[in-house]
Amino acid sequence: MKFIVSSTFLLKNLQAISGVLVANNSLPILDDFLFNLNDDDLKITTSDIESTMTVQIKVTMADEPGIVAIPAKILLETLKTLPDVPVTFDVNQKTFAIKMMAGDGEYNLNGHNGEDFPETPVIDDGNEFTINSIVLSEAISKTVFAASNDEMRPVMTGVFLEMTPENTSFVATDAHKLVRYTRKDITVETEDSFIIPTKPLNQIKNLLGVEDQPVKIIYNRKNTFFSFGRINLISKLIEGKYPNYVAVIPTDNPNKLQIERTPLLNAIKRVSIYASQSTHQLRFSITGRQLIISGEDADFNNKAREILTCNYDGEDMDIGFNSKFLSEMLNNLDSGEVMFEMSQPNRASLIKPIYDEDRPNEDILMLIMPLMLND
**CA angle 7-13-14, nearest 5°?**
85
pLDDT for the residue 217: 95
* 372/235 Cα distance (integer angstroms): 40
What mean pLDDT is predicted for residues 334-359?
95
What is the rounded average pLDDT of the residues 63-91?
A: 96
pLDDT at position 211 over 90: no
Q: Do domains 2-116 and 249-368 have the same CATH topology?
A: yes
User: At residue 138, what is the residue type?
Assistant: E
**pLDDT surpassing 70 at residue 216:** yes
pTM here?
0.93
Q: What is the mean pLDDT of residues 353-357?
A: 91
Nearest alpha carbon to residue 237 among 199, 268, 274 = 199
- Residue 125 has what pLDDT? 83
Separation CA 49–CA 199 (nearest Å): 12
Pairing of strands 255-260, 337-342: antiparallel
Q: Report the percent of the chain where pLDDT is more than 90.
A: 91
At 247-274, the pLDDT tens digits run 999 999 999 999 999 999 999 999 999 9
Query: How do residues 165-207 score in pLDDT, each as one tens digit?
Result: 999 999 999 999 999 999 999 998 899 999 999 999 999 999 9
CATH fold, domain 249-368, is DNA Polymerase III; Chain A, domain 2 (3.10.150)
For the segment 360-371, what is each residue's pLDDT rounded down to a tens digit? 999 999 999 999
The fold of 2-116 is DNA Polymerase III; Chain A, domain 2 (3.10.150)
- Interval 326-348 mean pLDDT: 96
Q: How many CB atoms lie within 10 A of CB 59?
A: 20
Say if residue 346's pLDDT is above 70.
yes
Name which residue leads in pLDDT, 246 or 124.
Answer: 246
**Is the per-residue pLDDT at 358 higher than 90?**
no
pLDDT for 375: 67
User: What are the sequence ranges of the domains in the chain?
Assistant: 2-116, 127-166+186-243, 249-368
Tell me, what's the pLDDT at 192?
Answer: 95
Q: Which fold has domain 127-166+186-243?
A: DNA Polymerase III; Chain A, domain 2 (3.10.150)
For residue range 82-123, list pLDDT tens digits in order. 999 999 999 999 999 999 999 999 999 999 999 999 998 888
Nearest to 203 by CA among 346, 86, 47: 47
| DSSP at 289 | T
The residue-averaged pLDDT of 276-299 equals 95
Please report the pLDDT score of residue 26 as a whole number.
Answer: 82
Q: Sorting pLDDT into bands at 50, 70 and 90, what band is 310?
A: very high
- Give 55-86 as a DSSP string: EEEE-SEEES-EEEEEEHHHHHHHHHHS-S-E
